Amino acid sequence: MRPFLALVLAGFLARFGYQMARSPVLPRFAQDLGATPELIGVIVAASTVTGVAIKLPAGALSDVLGRKRMMLLGCAFFAVPPFLYPFIHSPGALLALRFLHGFATAIFSPVASAFVADLSQRGRGERLGWFAASSDLGSTLGPLLGGLLLFYTASYPVTYLTVGVLGLLPLLIILRLPDEAPRSTGSTLRARAAEFWSGIAEVVWSRAVLVASTLEAALYVGYGAFLGFFPTYARSIGLNDAQIALVMG
């Protein structure tokens, strides 16, 4: 399989499984564990907090260690944490697991996008568009399948084990990508550390990046609130999980 097609498929499957684990399943799971509305909001937001903290250093680290190596690390977080959800029996444990699960997209998303951009100068924008579209398609279908699966099985463990199986697929796909040499030219630990922090500083002090990031953050405030509280509200007015899934999908 060509590297670009492999990345598109991996991005789709990664987002598909990851979003299955979120809304509408996650707020319902947290509510059934006894979480208060405020804590439900924190639980839903936990993985995003991880992303805010980790995405920048993950992208910069891929400049030093190589894209494939970092994507494999991200895929490991898609594959392993979902199998821990059946052992969760308290809101606090669920919150901790959501922080851990958030490392998946925090590492994979920026590095995979950088890998796509690295493939060729020609058609770079088109390739990034296809990759983003495939990820968005997975994000659309994930909540739909998650809600339908919860409705027909009435089982959180079955739903999250399905997420885990889907999470294994991107890992297997990325493993088949050709190996690459580390992007860093420095042979010493100090040289690699200097390159890492240089990459961080270049992004942090970029006005264009700051403006774009602020605008995107503002857009996602309302969307995040919707994801967190619509499922519990919909249940309170009589919608079942299948109907909620259709609305969110």
The per-residue pLDDT for range 119-161, each reduced to its tens digit, is 877 888 899 999 999 999 999 999 999 999 999 999 999 999 9
Question: DSSP state, 80?
Answer: S
Domain positions in the chain are: 3-248
Environment class of 47 (CB within 10 Å of its CB; exposed 0-12, middle 13-18, buried 19+)? buried
Task: For residues 188 and 196, give the distance between their C-alpha atoms in angstroms, rounded to a whole number.
Answer: 13
Q: What is the pLDDT of residues 8-53, one digit of tens each?
A: 999 999 999 999 999 899 999 999 999 999 999 999 999 989 998 8
Count CA atoms within 13 Å of residue 140 on its CB side.
6
Element (H, E) at 86: none
Question: Alpha carbon 124 to chain centroid distance?
Answer: 23
Task: For residues 28 and 74, give the distance between their C-alpha atoms in angstroms, rounded to a whole number.
Answer: 26
The pLDDT of residue 218 is above 80: no
Give the residue among 23, 17, 58 at the shortest CA–CA distance from 43: 23
Q: What type of residue sits at position 40?
A: I
Contact 15, 70 (CB under 8 A): no
**Residue 93: other Cβ atoms inside 10 A:** 14
The pLDDT of residue 180 is above 80: no
In the block, residue with structure tokens 């961080």: 200
**CATH classification for the domain delimited by 3-248, as one of 1.10.630.10, 3.30.930.10, 1.20.1250.20, 3.40.50.720:** 1.20.1250.20
Confidence label for 74 from pLDDT (cuts 50, 70 and 90)? very high
